[in-house]
Amino acid sequence: MIDNVHHQHSTSHEPQHDTPDAANSTPTPSTTPPPTSTAEPPGADRPPEADALIPVRMLNEFTYCPRLGYLEWVQGEWADNLETRQGTFGHRHVDKPDRKSISAPKEPADAEKQDGDVIHARSIMLAADQEELLAKLDLLEIDGDRATPVDYKRGKAPDIPEGAYEPERVQLCAQGLVLRENGYACDEGVLYFIGSRRRVVIPFDDELIARTRQLVQQFRETARAGAIPPPLDDSPKCPRCSLVGICLPDETNLLREAATADTPPTKDGLRRLLPSRNDALPMYVQDQGVMIGKSGDRLTVKQKGEQLSSSRLIDVSQVSVFGNVMFSAPALRELTIRGIPVCHFTYGGWFHGITSGLTHKNVELRIRQYATAADPAGSLDIARRLIMGKIRNARTLLRRHLGDREAPVLRQLNEYHRRAGHAPTAETLLGLEGMAAKEYFAAFFTLLSGRHEFDVNGRNRRPPRDPVNAVLSFVYSLLVKELTVTLQAVGFDPMLGFFHTPRYGRPSLALDLSEEFRPLVADSVVMTVFNNGEVTGDAFIERAGAVTLTDAGRRSVIAAFERRLETEITHPIFGYRICYRRILEVQARLLARCVLGELHEYPSFCTR
Amino acid sequence: MRQVHLIAYDIADVKRYRQVYKAMCGHGDPLQYSVFRCELSEIELHGLKETLWPILNLAEDRVMIVDLGPVEGRGDDCIEYWGEPRVAPPDRAATIV
Ligand code: SF4
């Protein structure tokens, strides 16, 4: 059925605001494309008003897949893929023979007289209140009172009787309806396919008009209802959809099935539609007094003029700085524009701040997040799953390393796990979590070689009083940083949690989500660095009873933490290989699906 | 997923040469003068095109792009160096300074 798949986002224009004002100031194809860094999600400033006019481009997306239209228009999600980018670029480099007739006027929305009586105007924004549509027209040919919209499409004209796939035809027809409401006669439109240099005429017959109006109606109702349409089922449209990593179609379908089925559904054949790893990686800067600057499209770190490192900006996913590190204004500006967050730690490793651009707006998610946090029952449901996940993973870590499958602590943790599932109040849950942690840490510390040398005496913090606790606290701080960045990127407010109460300067939601990952990511890193001798006694300094890591010690711990996040494992539910960093993101997205009501239960991440 | 690309160019004009060099540095590392090793995904390669095309004058300049395959596959094994590359290809790991 591949034939039915049209090129997703072939319609995407350069990122732009869907407001008339912005449209007027948006330059049409110029010779210099904007640097990728300034690309901004379309409609980043558009409120998700259910009553707003529907942009015709969004109608195209809704026709392709109702969920896609909803994600983009109502939730304001946006992601580039190759096809969206090529679509943008294609609009700028229309083939030479046509250049003359479509060359960009200096001012968009200018009208220029051509040889005949046909007036060509480009980049026009028109509203139609009756049709409830807002149209951005690539090119408009006006002959007397007759108007013909022309829309540029990337790629080749498909070989089908209709001349083009439905989303494109509907989008064009919607433009026609907008023109009609604005007083023009309009019975057909033109799709210009850049790849095959072909003009395909699409007549606006009754059938297409009825279908277009029906889709407008459906889109309107879907947006008003505030219920995201379900993912397509095993559709060939998904692999080419730019939002596939946000939508998680197969994962969502599997979890929804699992919720209703008696037997767990099979995970065989679940397509891994998102990459197993991220291309860009974090950067940590802890040398005191260094300056982070920008040189071309690279980020440089210099100390007294000497360059310590230089990285391509496309390789940097986030920057963490410890203590006294400086930024040049161009570097900081570039980072915020690209949506690369900067995480600030004290020299001692306390995560205390984040600098980020104005990049995400999933207002709907935040509204539901606040509502869930304000509802004790809803919060407790999620908190239970988080703590159960934590206890289960803690137990798994001990079971793997204690070498005694009958150890009493395993049975106790099982019991706490069971009780956490029925905890009647948040206080009970907090108590159970505390007791489980106590049992767990007592056993955990026995797994560390050199624990005698380090004089570990239970879990302590603020300040940590022994090396093991110093590393534990530091790694938790890194984990919470990672989750704060992830939650923010997904659209959550990291400050408001469901289990941890909000407190000044504390990213409660990141702490919530960190629970199930503490054993898996943080504690296992602590075991690795001590048991492999990656940190030894000289990696610590003690001051007034407080133990902290030296620069070198911290470097080793960060390296081990990053290696852990890059470790690929087989996902216990979805069955594909994926690294821990991606798992954090997928869990954050699943938590969002749960908060938005699409999943009934938060599926905590537990390894076997 | 990223592939290793070997990108070489001749640029006829000094000003354009500098612009191209700078743009290339944002996408890879110079192994030799005018020869870069670039780890790029499809979309990043497209980004490079968007950056270079407005600079180039293809009546006088030329660019060659060779896709050497996945970063963790054949990508690097098929390059043999004699003498040190100008900038050593980076390891894939978080930067810790
Ligand atoms: S991934 Fe599939 S289901 Fe999800 S929005 Fe895209 S096309 Fe629709």
Residue of B nearest to A291 (CA): B97
CA-based nearest residue in chain B for residue A87: B46
Instruction: Tell me whether residue A433 is annotated as binding.
Output: yes
A97 vs A595, more confident = A595
pLDDT of residue A312: 92
CB contacts, 8 Å: A306 with chain B: none
Q: Quick check: helix, strand or coil at residue A307? A: strand
To test the ligand 1 pocket, which listed residue (A60, A71, A243) has its Cβ within 8 A of the most ligand atoms? A243
A27-41, A72-86, A328-342, A441-455: range with lowest mean pLDDT:
A27-41
A14 is in an annotated binding site: no
Q: Does the pLDDT value for residue A34 go beyond 50?
A: no
pLDDT score for A345: 92
| Cβ of A231 less than 6 Å from ligand 1 | yes
Q: Which of A50-59, A410-419, A514-523 has the lowest mean pLDDT?
A: A50-59
Three-class SS state of A58: helix
Spatial distance between the Cα atoms of A354 and A489, rounded to a whole number of angstroms: 12
Query: Does residue A311 carry a pLDDT above 80?
Result: yes
| B23/A312 Cβ within 8 A | no
Q: What is the pLDDT of residue A87?
A: 62
- Is the predicted pLDDT of residue A49 greater than 60, yes or no? no
Picking from A382, A307, A289, A299, the residue whose alpha carbon sits closest to that of residue A337 is A299
pLDDT of the residue at A112: 47
A241 lines ligand 1 (CB under 6 A): yes
Q: How far is A275 from chain B (nearest CA, A)?
A: 7
pLDDT at A90: 53
Task: Calculate mean pLDDT across residues A132-150.
Answer: 87
What angle do the packed helices B42-52 and A82-92 form, to 10 degrees?
20
Is the CB–ligand 1 distance for residue A274 below 6 Å? Answer: no
Question: Higher confidence at residue A60 or residue B92?
Answer: A60
Which is more confident, A259 or A427? A427
B28 touches chain A (CB under 8 A): yes
How far does the CA of residue B15 sit from the closest CA of chain A (Å)?
Answer: 15
pLDDT band, very low/low/confident/very high, at A5 (cuts 50, 70, 90): very low
CA distances from A322 to A304, A475, A553 (A): 18, 14, 14
pLDDT at A40 over 60: no
Mean pLDDT of chain A: 81
Q: What is the pLDDT of residues A372-428, one digit of tens each?
A: 988 989 899 999 999 999 999 999 999 988 888 888 889 999 999 999 888 899 889
Q: CA-nearest residue of chain A to B21? A: A296
Q: Do the Cβ atoms of B96 and A559 come within 8 Å?
A: yes
> Which backbone phi and psi does A359 adopt, to 5 degrees?
-105, -35
pTM for the predicted model, two decimal places: 0.82
The terminus-to-terminus CA distance of chain A in angstroms comes to: 37
Which chain B residue is nearest to residue A287, measuring alpha carbons?
Answer: B97
Report how far ligand 1's centroid is from the alpha carbon of A238 (Å).
5
Average pLDDT over residues B22-51: 90
B contacts of A562 (beta carbons < 8 Å): 93-94, 96
pLDDT in the model for residue A558: 94
In sequence order, which residues have a C-beta less than 8 Å from that of residue A85 and are 6 or more positions away? B43, B46, B47, B50
**pLDDT on residue A403:** 82
Task: Report the nearest-CA residue for atom 5 of ligand 1.
Answer: A68
Lowest mean pLDDT across A87-101, A139-153, A240-254: A87-101
| Residue A101 banded pLDDT, cuts 50, 70, 90 | very low
> Crossing angle for the helix pair A56-64 and A66-73, nearest 10 degrees?
140
The pairing of strands A146-153 and A188-193 is parallel
Instruction: Check whether A415 is labelled as a binding-site residue.
Output: no
Beta strands per DSSP E along A10-105: 54-55
Banded pLDDT at A575 (limits 50, 70, 90)? confident
In this predicted structure, what is the pLDDT of residue A481? 94
Q: Indicate if ligand 1 lies below 6 Å from the C-beta of A235.
A: yes
Nearest to A296 among B2, B26, B96 (CB): B26
Atom of ligand 1 nearest to the CA of A242: 6
Closest approach of chain A CAs to the CA of B55, in angstroms? 9
Determine whether the interchain pair B93/A559 forms a contact, defined as Cβ–Cβ distance below 8 Å. yes
Going from the Cα of A244 to the center of ligand 1, the distance in angstroms, rounded, reads 6
User: A81 CB less than 6 Å from ligand 1?
Assistant: no
Measure CB to CB from residue B42 to each of A31, A82, A287 and give the nearest one: A82
Q: Residue B2: what are its φ and ψ, rounded to 5°?
A: -80, 150
**A515: Cα separation from own chain's centroid:** 21
pLDDT given at position A520:
93
Task: Measure B64 CA to nearest chain A CA, in Å.
Answer: 20
Dmax (CA) for chain B in angstroms is 44
C-beta atoms of B25 and A89 within 8 A: no
**Which of A34-43, A89-98, A191-200, A291-300 has maximum average pLDDT?**
A291-300
Give A-chain residues touching B26 at CB under 8 angstroms: 296-298, 312-314
pLDDT recorded at residue A184 = 87
Q: Which residues contact A405 (CB under 8 A, 6 or more apart)?
A: A399
* Ligand 1 proximity of A67 Cβ (cutoff 6 Å): yes
- Nearest residue on chain A to B2, judged by CA atoms? A279
Q: What is the rounded distance in angstroms from the CA atom of residue A475 to the CA atom of residue A455?
A: 19
Task: Report the pLDDT averaged over residues B87-97.
Answer: 81
Tell me whether residues A297 and B26 touch, CB distance under 8 A. yes
Distance B79 CA to ligand 1 centre (A): 40
CATH of B2-70, one of 3.30.70.240, 1.20.140.10, 3.40.30.10, 3.40.640.10: 3.30.70.240
Q: How far is the CA of A201 from the centre of ligand 1 (A)?
A: 29
B83 and chain A in contact, CB less than 8 A = no
HEC letters along A204-247: CCHHHHHHHHHHHHHHHHHHHHCCCCCCCCCCCCHHHCCCHHHH
* Predicted pLDDT of residue B73: 73
ipTM of the complex: 0.86
The whole-angstrom separation of Cα A265 and Cα A282 is: 36
Q: Which one of A86, A314, A481 would you mutate to disrupt binding with B, by most B Cβ within 10 Å of its Cβ?
A: A314
Which residue segments constitute the domains of chain A, with CATH numbers given? Answer: 54-95+118-225 (3.90.320.10), 286-355 (3.100.10.20), 363-596 (1.20.120.920)
Give the contacts of A422 (CB within 8 A, at least 6 positions apart): none
Q: Which one of B18, B43, B49, B92 would you mutate to disrupt binding with A, by most A Cβ within 10 Å of its Cβ?
A: B43
Is residue A38 scored above 50 in pLDDT? no
CA distance B40 to B22: 17
pLDDT at A116 over 50: yes
User: Average pLDDT in the A582-588 region?
Assistant: 93
- Give the lowest-confidence range in A132-136, A204-208, A480-484, B74-78: B74-78
Residue A456, pLDDT above cutoff 80? no
**CB distance A105 to A124 below 8 Å:** no
Cβ A246 under 6 angstroms from ligand 1: no
pLDDT at A82 > cutoff 80: no
pLDDT value at A78 more than 80 = no
Residue entry with tokens 């400086």: A326
Which stretches of chain A sit within 8 Å of chain B by CB?
A: 31-33, 35-36, 80-82, 85-86, 89, 93, 275, 279, 281-287, 290, 295-298, 301, 308-309, 311-316, 555, 558-559, 562-563
> Of A375-384, A471-480, A498-507, A550-559, which gets the smallest average pLDDT?
A498-507
Q: Taking phi first (over 0 means left), then psi (-120 to 50 degrees means alpha), and beta for anything else, what does residue A349 get? A: left
Contact check, Cβ <8 Å, A281/B44 = no
Question: In this predicted model, what pLDDT tens digit does every residue of B54-66 receive, in sequence order?
Answer: 898 888 999 999 9
